[in-house]
Amino acid sequence: MSILTASDKFLIEAYCINLRELYVLADMVRKEGHFQVKPDGTRVACPNVISYHKLMGTHIKLMNELGLTCQARLRMAAPTVDTGNKTDDVADLMKRLGGGK
């Protein structure tokens, strides 16, 4: 659809790094649990869980920026591309099926 360009490289890299960190933290939380018990017996949230939730918030924002959620895809519009005299098979099919203009 020609929506992403070379200038989006940083955004895609951030998405990939963030996803990797989410996987690492999710594994740590599964092994260590959601809470830690302090010496006085009180339970506190594990720092890994707090970090996981912060990363998840960032991840959802990145998904929206990259059009990786249903709602984000609804807002996206691909740039128009002049194909010259070339035919667009998908557009032709849509016209024949009554879905294109």
Q: What is the mean pLDDT of residues 1-25?
A: 89
Interval 44-80: pLDDT, tens: 999 999 999 999 999 999 999 888 888 887 887 666 6
What residues does 35 pair with on adjacent strands?
45
Interval 14-41: pLDDT, tens: 999 999 999 999 999 999 999 999 999 9
Q: What is the mean pLDDT of residues 72-99?
A: 69
Confidence of residue 86 (pLDDT cuts 50, 70, 90): low
Model confidence, pTM? 0.65
> What's the half-sphere exposure (Cβ side, CA atoms, 13 Å) at 59?
14
